[in-house]
C-alpha cells in the first residue's frame, strides 16, 4: 500500500535563518536526542537548514522516493527511511538532479547512495550511510510519503526542521527553533572571550568547568 499525505507546512525562512549561523555540534553540548547517528556528508564543508519531507520505503522498492522528489519545494529536505537496509542505494544522480531542480536544499538518507561524482557536480548536499553500486528498484510494492520515519535512531515527523552542517544532522521541532537558535548563539558567543583569554595563557579547564573536578 502507498501513502501520500499532504505536504507539510514549510517553516518560514525567517525562523530557519538563525540556525545558519550556529553549529549542530553546539546543540550536541546541550542535548542528546534528535541526532542522526551514523550518517556522513557527501562533501565538506556542508550546511543546510530546511523543512523535512519524509519518505519510508520497504528495502528494495524506491517507488515512493521518486514520487516524493517530484513534489519537493524550495527549501525542503528529503528525508528517507530505508527500513534498515543500508546496503542498497535508493538515491542516485538523477534523483539528486531532480531534487536540486525542485529547489530542495539537501537530502538525509538512512541508507546508501550512489553516483557520488554526479551529485557533487550538481552541488547537492547529501547525508547517508555511505555508497553502494547495488540499487533499489521501481517495483510498486509499497511506501509512505510524509509519514513519521526513523533516521539514525531519531524519529522525524514531516515538517520537522532539518539542521545540518559538516558535523552532522539534527532534527528540531519548528516551535523549538527560536529558543534553540538563541541558546546556541549565546553559547558560541561565550567562547569568543575564552579564546582571547586562552591565547594569553588562560585555562580551558577553568572556562569549561573541568578544573572544578581536580
List CB contacts of 92: < 8 A, sequence separation 6 or more. Answer: 113, 114, 115, 118, 135
- Three-state DSSP at 22 gives coil
pLDDT (tens digit per residue) in 93-147: 999 999 999 999 999 999 999 999 999 999 999 999 999 999 999 999 999 999 9
pLDDT above 90 for 201:
yes
Task: Provide the pLDDT for residue 59.
Answer: 87
Task: Provide the pLDDT for residue 206.
Answer: 92
Query: For the domain 2-9+16-175, what is the CATH code?
Result: 3.50.30.40
Q: Which three cell numbers stand for residue 94?
A: 538523477
Residue 202 pLDDT grade (very low, low, confident, very high; cuts 50, 70, 90):
very high
Mean pLDDT of the chain, nearest integer: 97
**pTM to 2 decimals?**
0.96
Q: Which whole number is the average pLDDT over 57-73?
A: 97
As a whole-number percent, the residues of the chain with pLDDT over 70 amount to 100
Q: Which whole number is the average pLDDT over 89-94?
A: 98
pLDDT (tens digit per residue) in 141-187: 999 999 999 999 999 999 999 999 999 999 999 999 999 999 999 99
Q: Find out whether 35 and 154 touch, Cβ atoms under 8 Å.
A: yes
Q: Find out whether 171 and 28 touch, Cβ atoms under 8 Å.
A: no
pLDDT above 90 for 2:
yes
Amino acid at each position: 500500500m502507498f501513502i501520500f499525505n499532504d505536504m507539510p507546512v514549510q517553516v518560514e525562512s525567517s525562523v530557519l535563518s538563525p540556525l545558519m549561523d550556529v553549529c549542530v555540534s553546539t546543540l550536541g553540548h546541550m542535548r542528546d536526542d534528535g541526532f542522526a547517528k551514523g550518517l556522513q556528508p557527501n562533501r565538506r564543508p556542508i550546511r543546510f537548514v530546511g523543512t523535512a519531507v519524509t519518505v519510508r520505503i520497504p528495502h528494495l522498492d524506491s517507488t515512493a522516493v521518486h514520487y516524493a522528489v517530484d513534489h519537493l519545494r524550495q527549501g525542503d529536505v528529503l528525508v528517507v527511511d530505508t527500513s534498515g537496509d543500508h546496503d542498497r542505494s535508493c538515491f542516485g544522480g538523477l534523483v539528486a538532479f531532480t531534487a536540486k531542480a525542485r529547489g530542495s536544499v539537501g537530502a538525509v538518507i538512512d541508507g546508501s547512495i550512489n553516483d557520488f561524482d554526479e551529485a557533487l557536480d550538481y552541488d547537492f548536499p547529501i547525508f547517508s550511510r555511505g555508497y553502494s553500486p547495488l540499487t533499489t528498484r521501481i517495483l510498486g510494492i509499497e511506501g509512505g510519503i510524509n509519514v513519521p520515519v526513523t533516521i539514525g535512531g531519531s524519529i522525524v515527523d514531516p515538517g520537522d526542521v532539518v539542521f545540518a552542517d559538516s558535523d552532522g544532522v539534527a532534527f528540531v521541532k519548528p516551535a523549538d527553533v527560536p529558543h534553540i537558535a538563541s541558546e546556541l548563539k549565546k553559547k558560541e558567543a561565550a567562547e569568543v572571550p575564552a579564546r582571547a583569554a586562552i591565547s594569553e595563557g588562560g585555562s580551558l579547564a577553568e572556562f569549561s568547568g573541568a578544573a572544578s573536578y581536580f
